[in-house]
Amino acid sequence: MDPKDLFGKVLSAIEDHHRWFNSSLPMIASENVTSPSVRRALVSDFGHRYAEGWVGERVYAGTKYIDLVESLAMDLIKDLYNVKYADVRPISGVVANLSIYTAFTQPGDTIMALPITKGGHISMGPLKGSKGQFIGGTAGAVRGLDVKYIAFDDENMNIDVDKTISRMEKNKPKLIMLGGSVILFPQPVKEIVEAAKSLGALVNYDGAHVAGLIAGGQFQDPMAEGSDTMSFSTHKTFFGPQHGAVITNDEEKFELIKKANFPGLLSNHHLNAVAALAIAAAEMKAFGKEYAKAVVDNAKALAQALHDEGFKVVAEHLGFTESHQVLLDVDEIGGGYKCEKLLEEANIIVNRNLLPWDIKRGRSFKDPGGLRLGVSELTRLGMGKDEMRRVAELYRKVLLDKKDPKEVAREVSEFRKGFQTVKYAFEEGLAYEH
């Protein structure tokens, strides 16, 4: 292919993507949209530069303004989470988790985390599953850790404290990873921390999904509840760039985290994203409480509306959700793969997801029984409870009424015309410019 033709195809694909998302309902729980200010930082000259090491201790020249911005980013993160120390160099949530493993464990050590089938993230998974099949997971694959599972109560969609403590006493873990990828409700952090202390184990809370809700005061505060550290990505409920961070109140632990990140895991650390994170953190400081409340309100409203439309929404007896996520059990209406693809044809973007009971009914990650929905991006686009009811109707038309998805896509496109601007920002602007 001629290089010029290739260049044109790439630009055309980007334009097509923007047009598609301008006409869609983006509801991937691990995504959000950034403000024009954040995007300006992402395309700045910071993205061309190197600044290996710590602020004031760089091994490259030309970093005086980069140092200033990175210091501001750290100060804002410390302020948002009321902690003493923050490292904003991890380039993703997975790298933030890896820095925790690197700082506090050695290959062969035992850690405990939720299994992926019950809300754990792939970065907490062992190298092989119980039947020997490869299932990925940077904890097992990269660090050589022996991963044991936290006990989970399927009925209450949360950690089973008594069984978990019993497993902790048996397995003597070096590290317990709380938080996760599917998290509807606050976890029993205090209880796990107390048990961990008696065993000499550390507790890290993976707050990737709920970091913005925590900063906005709408979810549990794991650091106030005793977690030694918290790792997180910055682009889910925290509406920043795709990046990561680690926080703690312990100076000794922080020194280990710093060394784990550099020279352990990182060379350069995407300085344009650090600048973008500083701006996003300032926006979170200004608008986070209002935004986080709207996110949780919208998630609850969407869950109730989907239930009213006839869907099987997980955890009805618990009020469905207290986070940005809603889980649908679609086993009886075709399964996660089929439902995901039908919704995508209708310009509704979600992801299929394993439910805690899927393995027992013979489903796998390729075609699980669930859909995981997120409202973070729709909320940032200005949607509220009334719009959540409209969204639920669109789901019903596609998955229950079996209407032509392309026909529903036209309805979605018309509906989205009124929601094109990023809210909760110093500079409001189009979400997907083209």
Record the tokens describing residue 348, joined without a space.
Answer: 């509704």
Cα angle 56, 207, 215 (rounded to 5 degrees) comes to 75
**Dihedral of alpha carbons 175, 176, 180, 182, sign:** positive
User: What integer pLDDT is reported at residue 140 of this predicted model?
Assistant: 73
Q: Span 39-282: which CATH code?
A: 3.40.640.10
Residue 280's identity, in one-letter code, is: A
**What secondary structure, in 3-state letters, does 65-91 show?**
HHHHHHHHHHHHHHHHHCCCEEECCCC
Distance CA 213, CA 281 (A): 13
Q: What is the chain's percent helix, strand, coil content, to nearest 5?
A: 45, 15, 40
User: What integer pLDDT is reported at residue 100 of this predicted model?
Assistant: 97
Question: Where in the chain are the domains?
Answer: 39-282
**Dihedral of alpha carbons 152, 125, 220, 33, sign:** negative
Element (H, E) at 387: helix 385-399
Cis check for the bond before 263: say yes or no (omega within 30 of 0). yes
| 142 Cβ neighbours under 8 A, 6+ residues apart | 98, 101
User: What integer pLDDT is reported at residue 125 of this predicted model?
Assistant: 80
User: What integer pLDDT is reported at residue 138 of this predicted model?
Assistant: 76
Biggest alpha carbon distance in the chain?
65
Residue 140's identity, in one-letter code, is: G
User: What integer pLDDT is reported at residue 134 of this predicted model?
Assistant: 46
Distance CA 322, CA 183 (A): 9
Confidence of residue 136 (pLDDT cuts 50, 70, 90): low
Neighbours of 117 (CB within 10 A): 24
Compute the half-sphere exposure of residue 89: CA atoms within 13 Å on the CB side of its CA: 26
* CB contact at 8 A, 381 and 33: yes
User: What integer pLDDT is reported at residue 432 of this predicted model?
Assistant: 83
**Rg of the chain on CA atoms, in Å:** 22
pTM (2 decimals)?
0.96
DSSP 8-state symbol, 54: S
Confidence of residue 78 (pLDDT cuts 50, 70, 90): very high
* CB contact at 8 A, 374 and 210: no
Count of residues in the chain:
434
* CB contact at 8 A, 369 and 403: no
345-378 residue pLDDT tens: 999 999 999 999 999 999 998 999 999 999 999 9
User: What integer pLDDT is reported at residue 131 of this predicted model?
Assistant: 52
Backbone angles phi, psi at 187, to 5 degrees: -95, 160
Element (H, E) at 247: strand 244-248
H-helix segments, 115-220: 138-143, 161-171, 189-199, 211-215
Burial class (CB in 10 A: 0-12, 13-18, 19+), 345: middle
* pLDDT above 70 (res 141): no
Record the tokens describing residue 252, joined without a space.
Answer: 């000794």
Confidence of residue 129 (pLDDT cuts 50, 70, 90): low
* pLDDT above 80 (res 152): yes
The gap between the terminal CA atoms of the chain, to the nearest Å, is 25
User: What integer pLDDT is reported at residue 132 of this predicted model?
Assistant: 47
DSSP 8-state symbol, 427: S
* pLDDT above 70 (res 65): yes
Distance CA 35, CA 49 (A): 23
Element (H, E) at 395: helix 385-399
